[in-house]
Amino acid sequence: MNRRLFGTDGVRGTANTWPMTADMALRLGAAAGHYFNQGGNNGHRVVIGKDTRRSGYMLETALTAGLTSTGMNVLLLGPVPTPAVGYLTRSMRADLGIMISASHNPACDNGIKFFGPDGFKLSDAAEAEIEQIVAGEVPLAEPASIGRVRRIDDGLGRYVEYAKTTLPRGVRLSGLKVVIDCANGAAYKAAPEVLWELGAEVVAMGVAPDGFNINRDLGSTHPQAAARAVVEQGADLGICLDGDADRVILIDETGQVADGDQIMALLARRWATQGRLSSDTLVATVMSNMGLERFLQRHGLRLERTAVGDRYVVERMRAGGFNLGGEQSGHIVMSDYTTTGDGLIAALQFLLAMAEEGARASTLARQFRPVPQMLRNVRYRPDLQPMDAPSVQHAIRAAEARLNGTGRLLIRKSGTEPLLRVMAEAEDEALLGDIMGGLVAEIEAAL
């Protein structure tokens, strides 16, 4: 069926407007409850986590009403990172996990992400079935079968302890000074606590959420403040998480930013050397830099590309039996440890490399020279289709002809916002700038 509710990462939109209304959340909860209640064998349990947005209270309450109306027993985790929901869904033997978050989006947005009993995000097919249930009449439970609700006070603590176990026993971060930017989001308690308990000296930023300041001038999409703090504090590393902590951007001791491609390159190299990189393969999306692909080839490793979205990376990893993948934006998926992107655990793996190799962050965060890349976002009205305009199609063909196999061009719709993402790569930076400028101008003209 043609999905209208679900994008590349659950359901997302502006709070209190369709589809992020209390009414829709109630219907989604009831539909998901009906879908999972049919085959559930764990007391029909569902765990719900959220980030720090004010609208999370509204959506949490509405989802809970919908779920209990179909017989699901709800366990409320409170503010926890998205990967914690994936972990706790499986750990607590729940039939369903739900995270209320719009990730890196501004505070006015919110979203709902679903996890299956295995801790992995739902497939497109499962989401389509839930959407079909939403469109109809959802069968409700008998009065005696209405679900219960319970708040879980130790969910965050369980995740904190698990995150620490992903480092080898005996490894300490003593002597390392770390700036951690939690973006006033879901990891504002967990991330500083994990780092401190492992022995690091911690400088915490973005740990005072007020319901409206999540991702505001902080976090993985705004690393400038953390970069300044790293230099001013003389820190060894900066860690920038996004609002739900499923992605990470790192900052070396000089204040330079390292994206997900550089982190994946480091982990792929280390894991291959240790004989633990499954099939000598890394899974990444079409957005990852050509420099990463060349780096892997030089080390005798393979890169498999997927559509944009960490869920598609995970699907390919599971299908191929691969254990490392991610996105340039900072989703790093390590299936030996996690079922989804986990910014904190990825950062711990980078700190482990610093400890074991005795290297500075600036050395480890520059594994390859990126091919010059430009990315521009063009906002559009949902009722317009600028990519269908003949002038835009002509401009795309002309740009590809000018690249003549020496670079890449990718134009796609965002799955989470009404944006066209225009990306181009080329060794010739002047050519790159000219191509990008012309393409964006044609798209804007078509709008």
In this prediction, residue 205 carries a pLDDT of 98
Which CATH homologous superfamily contains domain 258-343? Answer: Alpha-D-Glucose-1,6-Bisphosphate, subunit A, domain 3 (3.40.120.10)
Where in the chain do CATH 3.40.120.10 domains reside? 6-153, 159-256, 258-343
* Count of CA atoms in the C-beta half-sphere (13 A) of 357: 18
In which residue ranges of the chain is CATH 3.30.310.50 found?
373-446
CB 79 within 8 A of CB 110: no
pLDDT at 1 over 50: no
- pLDDT, tens digit (0-9, with 9 covering 90-100), for 150-189: 999 999 999 999 999 999 999 999 999 999 999 999 999 9
The reported pLDDT for the residue numbered 8 is 77
> Hunting for tokens 């999306």 — which residue is that?
285
Superfamily of domain 6-153: Alpha-D-Glucose-1,6-Bisphosphate, subunit A, domain 3 (3.40.120.10)
Q: Is position 279 annotated as part of the catalytic site?
A: no
Banded model confidence at residue 416, pLDDT cuts 50, 70, 90 = low
Q: Which of these is catalytic: 103, 220, 288, 329?
A: 103
pTM score of the predicted model: 0.91
Fold (topology level) of 159-256 = Alpha-D-Glucose-1,6-Bisphosphate; Chain A, domain 3 (3.40.120)
Digit-coded pLDDT (tens) for 211-251: 999 999 999 999 999 999 999 999 999 999 999 999 999 99
- Gap between the Cα atoms of 43 and 290, Å rounded: 48
Better pLDDT: 41 or 358: 358
CATH fold of 373-446 reads TATA-Binding Protein (3.30.310)
Q: Rounded CA gap, 78 and 58, in Å?
A: 13
Average pLDDT over every residue of 282-305: 97
Q: Cβ atoms within 10 A of the Cβ of 256, count? A: 15
Distance, CA of 373 to CA of 76 (rounded, Å): 42
